[in-house]
Amino acid sequence: MSIRDIQNISPNQDKNAESKPDATSHPKLPPASIPKEILLNYPRPIALSQLIEETAQWSGYTFIMDPSLDREVQIFAPHRLTRDQAFGLVLATTENAGLRMVELEEHIIKIVPASFSQLAV
């Protein structure tokens, strides 16, 4: 699999799907113990690394992030979200913090500054 920006990937995306996700590929996440709905309500600032650690637990993705990229974020979402909605919210929060997610391999995501080119990853 080639390196690609995470724009519209979801934790429900088919692991065997090739490079570009489409609206029809939404099969399985790893273990069945992963919750179907997620609560992501952080009205007080939390470290982005904490949010990413929690996201790794419910999404089935492995994340790589340099500690120097850590920053505080806030999310105001008082209702439970589907995994796709929650992952989209984490993605938007990461982008809002000036970072982006790049998929290195199947289910392995690296968090880099938004200014990095794909060649630098």
pLDDT in tens, 86-115: 999 999 999 999 999 999 988 899 999 998
**In CATH, which of 3.30.360.10, 3.50.30.30, 3.40.50.1220, 3.55.50.30 is domain 4-12+36-120?**
3.55.50.30
Q: What is the pLDDT of residues 1-38, one digit of tens each?
A: 344 566 555 555 544 444 444 333 333 445 546 678 99
Distance between CA atoms of residues 106 and 79, nearest Å: 30
- Model pTM score: 0.72
> Which among 65, 69, 51, 58 is positioned nearest to 35, based on CA atoms?
58
